[in-house]
Amino acid sequence: MSGPGDALAARLGARIDGLRRLSGGASRETWAFTADGRPLVLRRDPPTAPDAEAMAREAALLSSAAAAGVPVPTLVDHGDDLDGAPYLIMERLAGETIPRRLLRTPRPGLARDLGAILARLHTMASVPGLPDGDPLDALAEYYDAFDEPRPAVELAFRWLRENRPSPTGRTVVHGDFRNGNLMIDGPRVTGVLDWELSHLGDPAEDLGWLCVKAWRFGSSHPVGGFGPRADLLAGYADGGGTPPDPGVLHWWEVYGTLRWTILCRHQAERYLSGDDPSIEYAVLGRKVCEQEHDLLLALGLAEPVTVPDPLEEPAGDAAAPPHDRPSAPALLEAVERFVLDADHADDRLRFHSRVAASALRVARRELLLGDAHRAAHARRLAPLGCADDAELAAGIRAGRFEDRTDEVVAAVRASLVDKLTVANPRHLATPP
């Protein structure tokens, strides 16, 4: 038995079988196992970042949600120390959480059902310790702490502040209600998972978050890839909620896209700071530009565009004297093939091998295009009187370019096209 198996056996007084770590879960470990034949799931903080208070709060939220009629897994046990870390043990539900698998099958009534579930969720009793602050101010503070100004982010903050709607209410907000955190079995939701970002706030936040483009995974349906916004709002009304008007919902979609942009950057910081060497966190740093592009789409400042992937174009393998062949890009391609072809018996290793291959593709594209992109970026910034992105971002925040908005947006848009041509060219073509 590997992992926390011995600690689980001692805690539950049961025989533990089939223990395996599941892929995904960027902030917590997730393990599946059986205890005397009962299917269970363990959620555990990494030992390097324990947060007993947050884990206890999530346990309390599961109980409150169940009382409100929200489908959630039954809580089996929780505590401060399982093999050195706070933990939570739940029943293992039937169904699937992996979005791309879920979206292979049409689920026409699901968007409406999700609205009804959110209406019930927004009647939940609060629990002690839930954050209760201004969401836009909190996001700005989070962003400023990176000290890494980004022009697209500044454009979004400016729009959100200028167009902020009146609150629609004050309730418990799940904070991460989306495709990927929902256990779905056939046509129904069997469980709402991952309550660690819950807080008090405007209930429209959950509705907007579910409609953020990132959670559609390439689908044309805005509600998590499952259906139209009208169905979501109709279901919300069916469940007793008061649906926000379309303009309010759009504001929260833009806010959610900005929030995911900043959360991606936060996850990347775990790698950049040296706290966690995971390849997953490293690659997240190069996904921030995907969300920046989605911000421009949500604001109506960009359109989908198709660009060629430089890795799919014929290329030679010329040596770079005094070095021999294969060239650096060709060596990276060889490593990528090796990583993908390796036989990984463990689900998490297979997941990380795909992430590592993605990192290698990014590096190959940057080797091919980096010099040209740097020169193009300097040429874009020069007419605006900016030496770098930080100066452009500061100018946007200060209102320095009020009479040159079109020029600024064009420069930001072109920069993101270059960044995504390296990081993920296909993302540029996905519709808003």
Q: Which of 37-51, 58-72, 174-188, 281-295 has the lowest mean pLDDT?
A: 37-51
Confidence of residue 228 (pLDDT cuts 50, 70, 90): very high
C-alpha span between 373 and 364 (Å, rounded): 14
Which pLDDT belongs to residue 315?
66
- Any residues with CB less than 8 A from the CB of 231 and at least 6 apart, and which? 109, 111, 112, 115, 223
What Å distances lie between residue 96 and 185, 235, 245, 292, CA to CA?
6, 22, 32, 29
Q: What's the mean pLDDT when you consider all of the chain? A: 94
Q: Which of 2-6, 275-279, 424-428 has the lowest mean pLDDT?
A: 2-6
C-alpha span between 77 and 74 (Å, rounded): 9
3-state secondary structure the chain: CCCCHHHHHHHHCCCEEEEEECCCCCCCEEEEEEECCEEEEEEECCCCCCCHHHHHHHHHHHHHHHHCCCCCCCEEEEECCCCCCCEEEEECCCCECCHHHHCCCCCCCHHHHHHHHHHHHCCCCCCCCCCCCCHHHHHHHHHHCCCCCCHHHHHHHHHHHHCCCCCCCCEEECCCCCCCCEEEECCEEEEECCCCCCEEECCHHHHHHHCCHHHHCCCCCCCCCCCCHHHHHHHHHHCCCCCCCHHHHHHHHHHHHHHHHHHHHHHHHHHHCCCCCCHHHHHHCCCHHHHHHHHHHHCCCCCCCCCCCHHHCCCCCCCCCCCCCCCHHHHHHHHHHHHHHCCCCCHHHHHHHHHHHHHHHHHHHHHHHHHHHHHHHHHHHHHHCCCCHHHHHHHHHHCCCHHHHHHHHHHHHHHHHHHHHHHCHHHHHCCC
Confidence of residue 275 (pLDDT cuts 50, 70, 90): confident
Higher pLDDT, 22 or 99: 99
Whether the link from the prior residue into 47 is cis, omega within 30° of 0, is no
* pLDDT reading at 214 higher than 70: yes
Top mean pLDDT of 228-237, 261-270, 307-316 is at: 228-237
Which pLDDT belongs to residue 239?
97
C-alpha span between 47 and 141 (Å, rounded): 27
Q: Among 50, 262, 91, 116, which Cα is nearest to 193's?
A: 91
Give the whole-number percent of the chain exceeding pLDDT 90. 86
C-alpha span between 197 and 174 (Å, rounded): 7
Which pLDDT belongs to residue 1?
47
Which pLDDT belongs to residue 83?
87
Which pLDDT belongs to residue 24?
58
- Any residues with CB less than 8 A from the CB of 356 and at least 6 apart, and which? 279, 339
Q: What is the pLDDT of residues 350-409, one digit of tens each?
A: 888 999 999 999 999 999 999 999 999 999 999 999 999 999 999 999 999 999 999 999
Q: Among 81, 307, 102, 118, which Cα is nearest to 224's?
A: 102
Residues in the chain: 432
* pLDDT reading at 25 higher than 80: no
Q: What is the pLDDT of residues 49-76, one digit of tens each?
A: 899 999 999 999 999 999 999 999 999 9
Contact, 234 vs 112, CB < 8 A?
yes
* pLDDT reading at 212 higher than 60: yes
Which pLDDT belongs to residue 124?
98
* pLDDT reading at 314 higher than 80: no
249-98-176 Cα angle (round to 5): 35
Strands 171-173 and 199-201: antiparallel
**CB pairs under 8 A, 24+ apart, for 141-144?**
142/262, 142/266, 143/262, 143/265
- Any residues with CB less than 8 A from the CB of 318 and at least 6 apart, and which? 325, 327
* pLDDT reading at 238 higher than 70: yes
Confidence of residue 2 (pLDDT cuts 50, 70, 90): low
- Any residues with CB less than 8 A from the CB of 379 and at least 6 apart, and which? none
Which pLDDT belongs to residue 347?
77
Q: What is the pLDDT of residues 84-142, one digit of tens each?
A: 899 999 999 999 999 999 999 999 999 999 999 999 999 999 999 999 999 999 999 99
- Backbone CA torsion sign across 129, 135, 139, 140: negative
29-33-36 Cα angle (round to 5): 145
Give the whole-number percent of the chain exceeding pLDDT 70. 98
Which pLDDT belongs to residue 118?
98
